[in-house]
Amino acid sequence: MSGVSVDDSDTVPAADQRSGGRRPPLRSAFTLGLLVKVAFLATVNALSLWALTQMVVEGVWLAVTFLVVATVAIDVIYLNTKRWSIPYKYLLPGTIFLLVFQLYPVIYTAYISTTNLGTGNILDKDEAIDQVVATSIGTTESGTTYVSQAAIDDDGTLGLILLDEATDPPSLYIGTSEELTPIEESDVTRDGDRITGAAGFTALTLGEAADYEQDLAALEVPADEGVIRLRTFNRAALVEYRIQYDEATDTMLDTATGVVYAPSDGYFVSDDGQRLTPGWQINIGFENYKRVFQSEAIRGPFFRVFIWNWVFAAGTVTFGFALGLLLAMSLDHPKLRGKKLYRSLLIFPYALPSFLTVLVWQGMMNQNFGIINQLTGLDTPWLTDPWMARVSVLIVSTWLTFPYFFLVSTGALQSIPEDLTEAARVDGANGAQAFRAVTLPLLLVAVAPLIIASFAFNFNNFNVIYMLNRGGPPIPGAETPAGNTDILVTYTYRLAFESGRGQDLAFATAISILIFLHVALFSAWSFRKTARLEEI
């Protein structure tokens, strides 16, 4: 073997040869991907910890539980290297967002619909009690008033230096939240006529007192007849609470009249039906849903709004699709010149913000100054007559909808093979028959889901209805704020924010749940039916 020479280069791996015979350095265990993962999880955990502290302070225990479970799940899944965890790394974020931003709002809305939440019933019971008592302040029989000076001692205790000028000589006091203490003139230090301190308290200037504005406004000095409270920075008065709460009997007592108020339906109510406000939020079950069907003043307008909602959504989709398809077919001719220009002009309404377009239409349809009546010489009440208002709404919504269907129909028509229509003509079908038997079914395979989505959108198309004429004109005799062109979503909005009796939030959420169930069931049924088109 001594005659055989060995080339050292043959024993060096190819990778080492390319690197000049040097072995590459070992890879660090902390790759870039791992660093990104650690940074991401550290951020998530830090944000979760911060949010948990806020939620615990607020006592939102359901949210605390969900956040803890979600954070632990994220840590476990993204730190796991087993193969079974790979699908969950993609599914987990979407599932969390689905629960937080879709499922929870629906569940919470359904919960609110079973309460009496609205104007006068927003607080919980303890807050309502405090509010009723706090707003029942009245002057005492003596009606004593004081010249006051805000002050603070070395321990940071706020107090009031009080001067009762009605006595002879004027009486001086130091008042804190604990007690009212008489003092002598010798205990007071002055700078001219201005009191600078008294009995260990240093008087605050107006600028210094402004820093304690909220604390001074809440300061109550106990006295024999009631409490002393500030009226202004230099004036205080002896007042009393007319309404007192008895925790043992859970009742309110009007000390001036002796009337007792007992809790009933979220309010403290007297025997003769008078109630104290504000009330508090309680669960009332399905009462809001029953109002829709049991109250004639609500049921009549509600079903008128409901029927018109169907007509509006179906009419908008039908007219918009028909017009868009007609224009798409008209511009689909291969020898037509200027098709790009025509198509650009036809999608122009779709490119503009809908709320601007609606406002332009509102001005054009004005009965007295609108350009439509001026050009035609008519005096048509486009927006004030119930039937003409409905026609106007359909015209405007069709104008906004047809460009969308024009676009999708144009694309769908171009995807249909011409051989199929040619074969239909060879079999003796005319243009209308070929369209009905071949073109339309194939078109609906692509367009039907979009038609359903457009119906669901227009079923809740708030912008057109509210911005064109705010759902008007009003329905005469309606107990709730309902108009002739209102759809359920604008009706719900007006219930929640524009009711003359205040905001009826719980009833509005009940209507929202009815809308949700209706649209969801209709969409599910429609998708099931249109799925048969795929068999073509």
pLDDT, tens digit, 9 for 90 and up, residues 417-475: 777 777 877 777 777 777 877 788 888 888 888 898 899 899 989 999 999 998 989 88
The residue written with tokens 């660093």 in the block is: 35
Q: What is the pLDDT of residue 435?
A: 80
- Read off φ and ψ for residue 146, nearest 5 degrees: -135, 150
- Determine the topology of domain 292-535 in CATH: MetI-like fold (1.10.3720)
pLDDT band at 532 (very low <50, low <70, confident <90, very high): low
Structure tokens at 473: 């004109």
For the chain, the helix, strand and coil percentages under 3-state DSSP, each to the nearest 5: 55, 15, 30
pLDDT band at 95 (very low <50, low <70, confident <90, very high): very high
Q: What is the pLDDT of residue 295?
A: 81
The distance from CA 227 to its chain's CA centroid, rounded to whole angstroms, is 42
- Read off φ and ψ for residue 249, nearest 5 degrees: -100, -5
Helices 488-497 and 462-469, packing angle to 10 deg: 60
| Separation CA 234–CA 306 (nearest Å) | 60
Instruction: Return residue ranges of the chain for CATH 1.20.58.
Output: 32-112
Structure tokens at 113: 């619909």
Q: What is the pLDDT of residue 374?
A: 92
pTM of the model: 0.72
First to last CA, the chain: 80
Q: What is the pLDDT of residue 503?
A: 81
Quick one: CA dihedral 10, 12, 14, 18, positive or negative? negative
Instruction: Return residue ranges of the chain for CATH 1.10.3720.10.
Output: 292-535
| Separation CA 494–CA 467 (nearest Å) | 13
Q: What is the pLDDT of residue 5?
A: 45
- Determine the topology of domain 32-112 in CATH: Methane Monooxygenase Hydroxylase; Chain G, domain 1 (1.20.58)
pLDDT in tens, 463-514: 999 999 989 898 887 777 888 999 999 988 887 887 666 788 898 899 899 8
| Separation CA 471–CA 461 (nearest Å) | 12
pLDDT in tens, 254-310: 988 899 999 999 999 999 999 999 999 999 999 999 988 888 878 888 889 999 999
pLDDT for 211 beyond 90 = no
Among residues 352, 359, 369, 386, the alpha carbon closest in space to that of 476 is found at: 386
Helix (H) / strand (E) element for 32: namely: helix 32-58
Cα angle 327, 316, 513 (rounded to 5 degrees) comes to 145
Q: What is the pLDDT of residue 60?
A: 87
| Separation CA 301–CA 303 (nearest Å) | 6
Average model confidence (pLDDT) for the chain? 85
Q: What is the DSSP string of 455-478?
A: HHHHHT-HHHHHHHHTT-SBPTT-
Q: Which range (29-33, 35-39, 127-131, 277-281) has the least confidence?
A: 29-33
pLDDT band at 10 (very low <50, low <70, confident <90, very high): very low
Beta bridge partners of 239: 139, 227
- Read off φ and ψ for residue 21, nearest 5 degrees: 85, 0
CB contact burial 439-457 (16+ within 10 A = b; e otherwise)? beebbbbbbbbbbbebbbe
pLDDT in tens, 361-419: 999 999 999 999 999 888 999 999 999 999 999 999 999 999 999 999 988 888 887 77
Q: E strands along 102-219, which residues?
A: 137-139, 145-152, 158-164, 171-175, 180-183, 188-191, 194-198, 201-203
Structure tokens at 171: 């009486």
Residue of 486 and 233 predicted with greater confidence? 486
Residue 449 contacts residue 405 (beta carbons within 8 Å): no
pLDDT band at 253 (very low <50, low <70, confident <90, very high): very high
Q: How many Cα atoms are found within 13 Å in the side-chain-facing hemisphere of 117?
A: 16
- Read off φ and ψ for residue 110, nearest 5 degrees: -65, -40
